[in-house]
Structures are given as structure tokens and as C-alpha cells.
């Protein structure tokens, strides 16, 4: 695809219906970290930006965890993703924009979050743009949900399917040193990582919907066809969960740093 920002547009409905949310303890950590950096000089209401917002899963999570006070805006370049997000929730806003060119003024935000998206970005350019938009003391945060293949033979087999038929797919594609990248910047301080482990329970349809919402699985579909892909995924469930109750362990990682 020539424009990577539109990569999810054909997957929008599956993404909205089947992608997981984020565990409450990790979101509570994010809220506490942002609050610890607050300054009386911050613009009111606080501006919380969710960059690469997709269908707004993480944007709505910000509203829920921070309450009604702040202004919460999802920044998303994908046309269908943004339209779906804007139709799905009152109390949040959505704007057209890219991670490397966030459409908000210097020093205006208390939080710039990238949830399940930073691997798509030019990360150094995103960090620089986050610093520009953040008020002093504001937080840049990266939030990732990763299936934990070390804790489940089923997830290991799912990842192996992607690696066998995907286009140079590697299960550790988000394995870069995010804390190190944040800590290396002179305009950021107090870089830290928080993790949470949890298990998502799905039926077969939910698992298939979740799997097919991924651009990584879309590559498998192009390689072997939708029917074979669905059959392979269904066989995995039958092998590991004969009762049809699919259990997917996740490791959610939150990386944060504070604008100097």
C-alpha cells in the first residue's frame, strides 16, 4: 500500500468489534504518572492526545480513566478508522493528523499517547513532535498489548502461523528499547516502564474476528486465501481449546517519560 496510514481502512469493522482494550491497573499507572507532573501553568482543561487512535479504543479508555475533566482528542490519519471512531463515543474528539505532524500548538498538551501504534511511526520524529506539543511536565506515553507466546502453547502456534505465511513477520517486531529511546532524549526525563499481565477470554468467533482485524494476518490471507486462513485458525482452537473457550494471555507494556 502506497499510503501506510490507510492500511487498516479495510479492517475497520473487525478492528472496532474485536480488538482488546487495556487493563485498568496499567491505565491507572498512566493517570498517576501524568498527574504527578502537573503544573499550575498547564492550559485548562488538560489536553490529552491519543496519536494513531484508530477506532478510538485507547481514546475512550483515556476518557474513562481520567474522568470528565480533560479534553480528550484522538489523532488519526486513516479515513475509515477516524470516521468509525467519531461515530462511536460522546465526550471525545477526533482530528486528522499524523504522529510526525500533530495538529496542535506548542506546549498545549498534558499527555501525548501512542497506543498499539508506535511501530508504525518514525519514532524519533514522533518523540520530537510529542515534546513540541507537550507542556513542561507533560507525559509522552507508549502503550502496547502483546500476546504472550511464552505463557501459552496456543499463542506460540498462532505466532508461528503468522511467521510461516506472513511477509517477513517476526513476533518480536515491537522488541525495540522504548525506555532507552525515551531516556536518550535530553528534553525528556524520568523514563519508566510498567507492565501488566492478563488473560482475554473469547469464543471462536471472537478469536477469528480478533485475528482477522490484524494487518499481519491480512498478509497471511493474501498468501493462502481467507478460507485456508480461517480453517488454520479454527484448527488451532480445536487443538488447544476443545471446549471452544479461547484464552489469550497478554503482556501490556506502558512506557512513559516527562517533558523537561
Please report whether residue 217 resides in a domain: no
Comparison of pLDDT for 11 and 72, the residue scoring more: 72
Question: Of all residues in the chain, what percent are helix, strand and coil, respectively (each to 5)?
Answer: 45, 25, 30
Taking residues 98-127, report their average pLDDT: 97
In a domain, 114, yes or no: yes
Burial of 170 (0-12, 13-18, 19+ CB in 10 A): exposed
Contacts of 177 (CB under 8 A, 6+ apart): none
**Residue 93 falls inside a structural domain:** yes
4 or 41, greater pLDDT: 41
pLDDT in tens, 35-67: 999 999 999 999 999 999 999 999 999 999 999
Chain-wide mean pLDDT for the chain?
Answer: 93
C-alpha 102/C-alpha 95 separation (Å) is 9
Instruction: DSSP for 35-76, please give it.
Output: HHT--TTS-SS-EEEEET-TTSHHHHHHHHHH-SSSEEEEE-
Q: Is the pLDDT of residue 211 over 50?
A: yes
pLDDT at 248 over 70: yes
Phi, psi at residue 152, to the nearest 5°?
-155, 125
**Taking Cα atoms as reference points, which of 90, 111, 147 lies closest to residue 29?**
111
- Alpha helix locations (H) across 108-214? 123-133, 153-165, 178-183, 204-212
> Residue 20's domain spans which residues?
4-146+173-201+249-259
Q: How many domains does the chain contain in total?
A: 1
In a domain, 79, yes or no: yes
pTM: 0.92
Mean pLDDT (whole number) for 18-38: 96
The answer to whether residue 88 sits within a structural domain is yes
Residue 49 lies in a domain: yes
pLDDT band for position 255 (cuts 50, 70, 90): very high
Phi, psi of 43 (to 5 degrees): -60, 145
| Model pLDDT for residues 184-208, shown as the tens digit of each residue | 999 999 999 999 999 999 999 999 9
Q: Is the pLDDT of residue 5 over 60?
A: no
pLDDT for 239 beyond 90: yes
- The domain that holds 74 is classified in CATH as 3.40.50.150
Question: Is residue 156 in some structural domain?
Answer: no
Residue in this structure with the C-alpha cell 498534558, named with its chain if needed: 110
Mean pLDDT of 216-244: 97
Instruction: Tell me if 240 is assigned to some domain.
Output: no
Amino acid at each position: 500500500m502506497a499510503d501506510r496510514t490507510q492500511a487498516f481502512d479495510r479492517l475497520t469493522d473487525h478492528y472496532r468489534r474485536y480488538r482488546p482494550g487495556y487493563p485498568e491497573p496499567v491505565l491507572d499507572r498512566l493517570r498517576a504518572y501524568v498527574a504527578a507532573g502537573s503544573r499550575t501553568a498547564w492550559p485548562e482543561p488538560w489536553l490529552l492526545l491519543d496519536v494513531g487512535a484508530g477506532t478510538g479504543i485507547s481514546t475512550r479508555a483515556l476518557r474513562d480513566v481520567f474522568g470528565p475533566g480533560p479534553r480528550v482528542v484522538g489523532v488519526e490519519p486513516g479515513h475509515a478508522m477516524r470516521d468509525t471512531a467519531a461515530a462511536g463515543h460522546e465526550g471525545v474528539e477526533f482530528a486528522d493528523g499524523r504522529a510526525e505532524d500533530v495538529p496542535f500548538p506548542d506546549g498545549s498538551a498534558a499527555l501525548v499517547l501512542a497506543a498499539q501504534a508506535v511501530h508504525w511511526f518514525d519514532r524519533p520524529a514522533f518523540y520530537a513532535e510529542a515534546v513540541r506539543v507537550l507542556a513542561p511536565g507533560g507525559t509522552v506515553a507508549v502503550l502496547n498489548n502483546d500476546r504472550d507466546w511464552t505463557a501459552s502453547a496456543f499463542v506460540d502456534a498462532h505466532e508461528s502461523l503468522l511467521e510461516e505465511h506472513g511477509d517477513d513477520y517476526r513476533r518480536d517486531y515491537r522488541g525495540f528499547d522504548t525506555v532507552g529511546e525515551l531516556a536518550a532524549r535530553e528534553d525528556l526525563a524520568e523514563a519508566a516502564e510498567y507492565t501488566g499481565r492478563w488473560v482475554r477470554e473469547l469464543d471462536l468467533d471472537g478469536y477469528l474476528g480478533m485475528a482477522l482485524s490484524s494487518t499481519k494476518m491480512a498478509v497471511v490471507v493474501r498468501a493462502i486465501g481467507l478460507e485456508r486462513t480461517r480453517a488454520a485458525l479454527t484448527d488451532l482452537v480445536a487443538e488447544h481449546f476443545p471446549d471452544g473457550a479461547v484464552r489469550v494471555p497478554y503482556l501490556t507494556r506502558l512506557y512513559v517519560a516527562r517533558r523537561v
